[in-house]
Chain A
Amino acid sequence: MASRDKRDHGLQPDTRRANRSRAEGGGRRQRMLDSSQPQSPSPGALYRKDVALSDLKPGECGSVMRLNGNFCGRLRLLEMGLTPGTHVRMVRAAAFGGPVDIEVRGYQLSLRREEAAAVWLGDEDQP
């Protein structure tokens, strides 16, 4: 264990960068855009930034910047794949202020609006 630990110290790529480079490589983002095509024909209007995930309208996309606050579901949201740099798409929202249905990492996740309000969307990773 100890010897392997040392080895790990040797290679320490910045993980955030690794994430970004993957996004630039096309993979996930490409897929997200594709699946949102049927919702909205104009890709230019799809991305929104500096808003909370709960503010997105169905069909709109964004890129996770950070999870605000220290609420209890935060860790779970991260583990379910809502890490910084991840692309999300609002699929639909339930009536009467109910939960929202989002697409993240190729699957559909529903979360309550309060939790979605804590997910802040930022810049896309490329200009």
Chain B
Amino acid sequence: MKQATVAGPTPDDAIETQEFTVALVGNPNCGKTTLFNALTGLRQKVGNYPGVTVEKKTGRATLPNGTPARFLDLPGLYSLTPHSPDELIAREVLLGLLPGEAVPQVIINVVDASNLERNLYLTSQLLDTGIPVVVALTMVDMVEREGRSVDAAEIEAAIGVPVRAVIASKRIGADELLEAVGNAGGQEVRKREWTFSPAVATEAFRLQQLIRTEAELKPRVAFTEALTLLMQDTDSAGPRYLPDSCRRAAKEARERLADQGIDSASEIIEARYAWIARVCEGVDRGPGEDQRRRRPFMTNDRVDRVVMHPFWGYVLFFVVMAVVFQSIFTWAKVPMDWIQNGIDALGTGLTKIMPAGDLRDLLKEGVLGGVGNTIVFLPQILLLFLFVSLLEDTGYMARAAFLMDRLMSRVGLHGKSFIPLLSSFACAIPGIMATRTIGDRKARLITILVAPLMSCSARLPVYTLMIGAFVPARTLLAIPLPGGHHLTLLSLPGATMLAMYLLGMVTAFGIAWLFHRTLFKGVPPVFLMELPPYRMPSLRAAIQQMIERAGLFLKRAGTIILAISVVLWALSTYPKRNDLPEDQRIQHSFVGMAGKSIEPVIRPLGFDWKMGIGIVSSFAAREVFVTAMGTVYNVGDAKETGQVNLMDHMRSDIDPRSGRHVFTPLVAVCLMIYYVLAMQCMSTLAVVRRETNGWKWPAFQFGYMFVLAWAGTFLVFQVGRAMGWG
């Protein structure tokens, strides 16, 4: 799997390129994924294109004529103009410019019959590529329910390539579609049907000739590139691989046209829509007079009036969010506890059957611990993805983003950033995985970078330990009840906990704003979002999506988590000092040495080497801090009965050098602040690596969060001490 990140063709790709390849291309929300699933069943493989975050999904099926075919599910796109990495990859695949990926033999263009005009825009670009196209017409049933009719045969006659109506969820029409795909290989190359004005045409063909000679591209490819260059309004963007001479020529051509008062981009796009208008003429029949009332747009509109209402819309949104949050925070706890107990039971079993020794410890603490650390996240990931895919498929997600966009865009985030950030309160891992729904790359990356600042459930044990031991249970706000009782509304421990959650949230938004203004300053925001009609979600698709995401997490992140677990186990075990009592052994391990050697760095934060050991060993996962402290203070099982014991030990620990308490309330607060801000979670880093397809962003994230944590804690400790709170 790791080879996927290496640029260039792998031997695997080399075999694949010799196969009959069919690319599925279509607009977002057109039913492409459902069709892909219907055609290939479960024989799918998900990977990444080399060097980018674009997901590469392939599947296999045999055509009716016996040819085995590889199906390539390209990302959903509105056009072949490269606005985003998705579109860049798709156009490079289709133009044969992507190393390691051969030009597909046939394109299945998935067209949503209920939204013909806009869907046919992409079709007109696909026809230009010269690759045989077969149109799969989806949502025909929806159109008929509206009382309209769209006839596949009439569209076929109008655009000149095979058009087959399919109902993907029931696999109706799939065999006819595959048959057309099988016969499409012999399709003769069609001439371009749409036309543009002489001025633009002259420039386009001149540019095409130049690209053909300069970049040695095939005529069709050069034509597409020429049009793209003529349409692009900035010079920085644009197709890769093209020499600067072509860009310069395009710029001059655009300027020549502008002098004549011609906007080349508008002209080319209008020309395509004019062709679409001719195709749609007579094909897309409106409803009869009596059927007008059944138009779904009205039904849709009626639902939208509530869902997108300036008041009720938000009420509904918060109810939906509450359910999502509750499910991953509370409901997921039950299966998570089963998993944890199961892992513990396995560990106990291992202790019984294996002789004591390093191998047993390695298996129990390293391997089993690592596996446990991975699969314990599955319930949250599965549940969150169930919700995300249901929300996406019903069309609600776009509405929620519409409502939240104003708030989120102020700090450079997207309306769709809300769900990932909310989920991160339970765990940043499913949250970061859910950022896939954010179309805008910049907003997605910022969301990923700030998501771990939300206080996740793994920080709770740290907060509980510190607050329990050092924050007095004083009541801040209470309602007196009859009989001398009080109903406590807010206590000091509660307020401290709340403050930690708020600190994380406020920092996340502040940092998002900072990145928006600095790191991604030049990157333009894009918020052009289709509000798809409400649709009945398919439970099968949702479950398939859940399983796919969980599988990817296990495969990509799980391996890294397991490896780090084993390494961390070894570091905390070796060098082995059997001559020392058990509670002192960890001090002399590599982790102990690291904890001690970082003391100069963490001293200004008020931490000593014991906390250093806690911090180093909890790099795997934050909650390990509690167990590590338990080991350092030798109180045995710090999780349950030992916790009270541990609190006592920590409270009474005196620094032999200064004679003062090691832990004070100020130190406890500083430690919590450190855990709010620092990236002490290798699983999150592993997931960020997987989602951004490289170590660059996780490394940056780890770095900035460490600096933030150190600076924040330093400030609080030093100010606190100067004020005499220590």
Residue positions of A touching B, CB distance < 8 A? 1-2, 4-5, 7-9, 11-16, 18-19, 22, 25, 27-28, 30-31, 34-35, 38, 66-67, 70-81, 83-86, 91-92, 94-99, 101, 103, 105-112, 115
Contact check, A92 vs B121: say whether CB atoms are below 8 A apart: no
Within the complex, which residue of B83, B198, B301, B529 is in contact with A9, where a contact is CB–CB below 8 Å? Answer: B198
CB distance from A34 to the nearest CB of B (A): 7
Chain A proximity mask over B210-248: 1 for CB below 8 Å, otherwise 0: 000000000110010000000111100000000000000
Contact A80 B528, beta carbon cutoff 8 Å: yes
Contact B270 A16, beta carbon cutoff 8 Å: yes
Cβ contacts A to B, 27 pairs, < 8 Å: A4-B192, A5-B205, A19-B270, A31-B286, A34-B292, A38-B298, A75-B231, A76-B528, A77-B528, A78-B265, A79-B81, A80-B78, A80-B118, A84-B270, A91-B301, A94-B310, A99-B405, A99-B527, A101-B304, A101-B402, A107-B530, A108-B300, A108-B531, A108-B532, A108-B533, A109-B531, A115-B527
Which 7 A-B residue pairs are closest in the complex by CB-CB distance? Answer: A98-B406, A1-B219, A72-B524, A95-B310, A18-B274, A108-B531, A22-B277
> Given the complex, which residues of B lie within 8 Å of A16, measured CB to CB?
270
> Would you give the 0/1 interface string for B198-210, flagging 1 where the beta carbon is closer than 8 Å to chain A?
1001100100100
> Which residue in chain B gives the minimum CB-CB distance to A74?
B233
B273 within 8 A of A: yes
Please, which residues of chain A bring their CB within 8 A of the CB of B528?
73, 76-77, 80, 109-111, 115
Bound CA span A38–B297, Å: 11
Tell me whether A79 and B121 are in contact in the complex, defined as CB-CB below 8 angstroms, given that A12-B196, A27-B281, A73-B524 are known contacts. yes
A83 near B78 with CB under 8 A, answer: no
CB contact between B403 and one of A75, A98, A105, A112 (< 8 Å): that residue: A98
Query: Is there contact, CB below 8 Å, between A38 and B301?
Result: yes
Asked if B308 contacts A92 (CB within 8 A), the reply is yes
Question: Would you give the shortest CB distance from A122 to chain B, in whole angstroms?
Answer: 14
| Shortest Cβ distance from residue B710 to the other chain A in the assembled complex, whole angstroms | 37
Q: List the A residue with the shortest CB-CB distance to B531.
A: A108
User: Which residues on A sit within 8 Å (CB–CB) of B300?
Assistant: 108
Q: How far is the CB of B516 from chain A (nearest CB, A)?
A: 14
In the assembled complex, the CB of B572 is this many whole angstroms from the nearest CB of chain A, namely 51
B398 touches A110 (CB 8 A): yes
Residues of B within 8 A of A9 (CB): 198, 201-202
Compute how far the CA of A5 lies from the CA of B273 in the bound complex, rounded to whole angstroms.
20
Minimum Cβ distance to chain A for residue B333 (Å): 35
Q: Does B191 contact A (CB under 8 A)?
A: yes
Q: Complex formed: what's the CA distance from A2 to B219 in Å?
A: 9
Query: How many angstroms from the CA of A89 to the CA of B298 in the assembled complex?
Result: 14
Which of A16, A79, A95 has the most chain B CB within a 10 Å cutoff?
A79
Instruction: Tell me what chain B mostly uses at the interface: helix, strand, loop, or mixed.
Output: helix
Q: A15-B197, A112-B527 are in contact. List 18 more A-B contacts (CB 8 A).
A: A9-B198, A13-B274, A25-B281, A27-B277, A66-B266, A70-B233, A80-B118, A80-B528, A81-B118, A83-B269, A84-B266, A95-B403, A95-B406, A99-B529, A105-B115, A108-B531, A108-B532, A112-B525
Nearest CB of B to A16, in Å: 6
Residue of A nearest to B406 (CB): A98
Say which residue of B271, B273, B402, B403 sits within 8 Å of A81 (CB atoms).
Answer: B273
A91 to B533, CA, bound (A): 14
Q: A66–B266 Cα gap in the complex (Å)?
A: 9
Contact B526 A110 (CB under 8 A): no
CB pair B403–A94 under 8 Å, yes or no, is yes
Secondary structure call for the A interface = mixed
**Is A110's CB under 8 angstroms from B195's CB?**
no
Q: Does A75 contact B308, Cβ atoms closer than 8 Å? A: no
Contact: A96 with B81, CB < 8 Å? no
Which residues from chain A contact B232 at a C-beta distance below 8 Å? 75
Instruction: Report whether B118 and A105 are in contact in the complex, using a CB–CB cutoff of 8 Å.
Output: yes
Residues from chain A with a CB closer than 8 A to the CB of B266 are 66-67, 78, 83-84
Q: Would B403 and A79 count as touching, CB distance under 8 A?
A: no
CB-based nearest B residue for A96: B406
- Chain A neighbourhood of B273, CB < 8 A: 19, 81, 83, 86
Which of A7, A106, A109, A110 sits near B117, CB closer than 8 Å?
Answer: A106
| Contact indicator B527/A110 (Cβ below 8 Å) | yes
Instruction: Given A4-B191, A75-B265, decide whether A15 and B271 contact each other with a Cβ distance below 8 A.
Output: yes
A124 to chain B, nearest CB (A): 17
Q: Give the complex CA separation of A109 and B532 in angstroms.
A: 8
Say yes or no: A12-B233 contact (C-beta < 8 A), given A27-B277, A110-B402: no
Q: A14–B195 Cα gap in the complex (Å)? A: 9
* B360 adjacent to chain A (CB < 8 Å): no
Given contacts A1-B219, A15-B271, A91-B301, contact A112 B81 (CB under 8 A): no
A49 CB → nearest B CB, Å? 19
Closest to B398 in A: A110
List, in ascending order, chain B residues with CB within 8 A of A115's CB: 527-528
Docked complex Cα distance between A80 and B269 (Å)? 9
CB distance from B573 to the nearest CB of A (A): 55
CA distance A48 to B529 in the complex (A): 24
Q: Is the CB of B118 within 8 A of A107?
A: yes
Per-residue contact bits, chain B 393-431, to A (CB 8 Å; 1 contact, 0 not):
000001000110111010000010000000000000000
Minimum Cβ distance to chain B for residue A75 (Å): 6
Bound CA span A111–B274, Å: 24
List of A residues within 8 angstroms of B219 by Cβ: 1-2
1/0 per residue, CB under 8 A from A, across B76-100: the answer is 0011010100000000000000000
Cα–Cα distance between A83 and B263 once the two chains are bound (Å): 12
Q: CA A73 – CA B233 in complex, angstroms?
A: 10
Cβ-neighbour of A105 out of B78, B117, B409 (below 8 A): B117
Q: What is the chain B residue whose CB lies nearest that of A93?
A: B310
Chain A, residue nearest B198 (CB)? A12
B220 in complex: contacting residue of A1, A13, A109, CB < 8 Å: A1
Q: Are B406 and A8 in contact (CB under 8 A)?
A: no
B183-197 residues at the A interface, CB under 8 angstroms:
191-192, 195-197
CA A111 – CA B278 in complex, angstroms?
28
List the A side residues contacting B637 at CB < 8 Å. none
Known: A35-B295, A80-B528. A94 touches B405 (CB 8 A): yes
* A19 lies within 8 A of B274 (CB): yes
Does B648 sit within 8 A of A, measured CB to CB? no
- Residues of B near A98 (CB, < 8 A) are 402-403, 405-406
B458 at the interface (CB under 8 A from A): no
B residues near A103, Cβ cutoff 8 Å: 297
Given contacts A8-B192, A9-B201, A110-B531, contact A79 B269 (CB under 8 A): yes
Is residue B583 contacting chain A, with contact meaning CB distance below 8 A? no
State how many angstroms separate the Cβ of A95 from the closest Cβ of chain B: 4
Residues of B within 8 A of A2 (CB): 219
Give CA–CA (A35, B195) in the complex, Å: 31
